[in-house]
Structure 1
Amino acid sequence: MKPRLKIAETRAPDGSEMVLYQHDRDFFMMLNGQDLMDSRQKESELALARLGCRHLSAFKAPKVLIGGLGMGYTLRQTLDMLGPDGRVVVGELVDAVVEWNRAHLGVLNDHPLEDPRVDLERGDIVDIITRCSARFDAILIDIDNGPDAMTTADNHRLYGSAGIQACRRALVKNGCLAVWSADPSKKYEQLLVQGGFHVRRYRVPANRGSSSSRFVWVASEDKTRLPPGGGEPRRSEKKKVSIKRRRWPRKNRSGR
């Protein structure tokens, strides 16, 4: 049995240790000894692109922003869905992740960074989004662990109200925002709704045939642009209850 080999390491922006391992044909990224990415669990990264770019099938020259390169699965799936005139901007904060994709991980996805339709921007994805206005037909976000950030606290900026509004401004009218997460988050769903989006939540497998799930939200100002299926979050409403009704509750018609 082949051992797991450490082939590269670096430091995340907050000083955490990131290590790339290889075992046979599989690759693993670990953060401070915890699993961060696994090339065997790729289905949810592919689903992020499929769901977020589904509305682009009739577009001649769509423009897509991907926040977070990872192991390149979302980028490859996006490129496969676009025509020859499509463009993809990839924002990646950690320089080593880019170099690992070029030196080691490109074999997983037919070297997507070498595709002429790809523009790579190194830096904070929040800064990249904030600089843009009505530029992208779709924005796909796979940063850290989702709304519950694992790598750097700065990533929380992206998942708050200000980050959501920045994404909305960076989208063309009726464009789609798609966001990957390891876990569900009703709080984030409500922030998307409060930010003026129609939203659907999709539970997707971590890998084909796996019982482990991940989550993708797709949001748009135009509800017809959302993929079919999924679940719609309920709008939160504050219930106003008078003092009199709290003291003297009235039975409802079912007698409950």
Structure 2
Amino acid sequence: MPACPHYRKPTMARFNEIGTATIPGNGTCLRLLQRNDEFSIKIAGAPGELMNSRLHGSEDALATLACERLSHLPAPRILIGGLGMGFTLAAALSATGDQAQVTVAELVPEVETWNRGPLGTAAGYPLDDPRAAVHIGDVAELLRQGDGNWDAILLDVDNGPEGLTRKENNWIYSPEGIAAAQKSLSNDGILAYWSAGPEQAFTERLRRAGFSVEPVVVRALRPGKGARHTIWLAW
């Protein structure tokens, strides 16, 4: 009898680096990686991932949970802090009408370039939507204006209240940053924060600022699947 052929376990394609960028202010390097139709963003030299295009359920939820509260507004103005892979922007556009205006503040210019290039396929190129606009710079710059014009402010600028990528991001979660966001909201506006995990101290910080607060546990992949992340809704 002929010998059975040796079984060879299929090899998984490797991630290839297709872009790098330096975070302004601290020199940390971001790496954009691609494997077939999957994308990953990492911090050079650090373990794990910042983002993966297959795990965006909680980024979607950041927008959908907040935008549910804007259904009575024909032309809501929404500010998103952090473009990432574009999933929160795409979800906000999907959850609002033709007259919505969604501005994304992104600190790293290359992240916008990535989203207009190959990475854009992940979220369906939401930057091509005429309702979307990009502000290249720190979202804190817009919050400090305190103009009261935003109906929703969605903040996903770091891993949560304990900054991972940039110490300056801690201001967003400080009492001063919360107060600035509060002044930037319209009457009955909604403020939402994304975090990799829960933190009771931040919930109490929002309450001390005068907000009603609802921490919501969401899943990274889809309902019932993936890591548990936290979204704070404050109004």
Normalising by structure 2, what TM-score? 0.91
Question: Residue in 2 aligned with 1:20?
Answer: 32
Matched, 1:216 2:231: yes
- Cα 1:160–1:83, aligned 2, differ >3 Å: closer, same or farther? same
Distance 1:109 1:39 in 2: 8
Q: Which runs of 4+ in 1 moved over 4 A?
A: none
Q: Percent identity?
A: 39
Distance 2:94 2:54 in 1: 20
Within 5 Å, give how 1:9-158 maps onto structure 2.
9-13=20-24, 14-32=26-44, 33-34=46-47, 35-158=49-172
Residues of 1 paired with 2:32 and 2:226: CA distance? 25
State the match for 1:229 in structure 2. Answer: none
Unaligned runs of 5+ in 1: 221-256
Give me the whole-angstrom Cα distance separating, in 2, the residues matched to 1:56 and 1:96: 31
**Structure 1 range deviating more: 69-78 or 106-115:** 106-115
For 1:135 and 1:105, locate their aligned partners in 2 and report how far apart those are by CA, in whole Å.
31
- In structure 2, do the counterparts of structure 1 residues 132 and 115 end up closer, same or farther at CA, with 3 Å as the change threshold? farther
* Higher mean C-alpha deviation, range 1-10 or range 135-144: 1-10
RMSD (Å), alpha carbons: 1.0
**Helix, strand or coil for the counterpart of 2:148?**
coil
- Alignment deviations for residues 154-206 of structure 1 (CA, whole Å, 9 cap, x no partner): 00011000000000000001110010000111111111000010000000001
Q: List aligned pairs for 1:167-246, cutoff 5 A.
A: 167-208=181-222, 209-220=224-235
Query: SS where residue 148 of structure 1 aligns?
Result: coil
In the aligned structure 1, how far is the partner of 2:218 from the partner of 2:158? 17
Which ranges of structure 2 fall in alignment gaps of 5 or more residues? Answer: 1-11
Which residue identity does 1:89 align to in structure 2?
A: T
2:119, 2:146 → 1: CA distance?
29
Q: Deviations over 1:202-238 (max 9, x none)?
A: 0000112424100000000xxxxxxxxxxxxxxxxxx
Q: 1:12 deviation in Å?
A: 1.5
Point out the structure with max Rg over C-alpha: 1
Could you say what secondary structure the match of 2:50 adopts?
strand
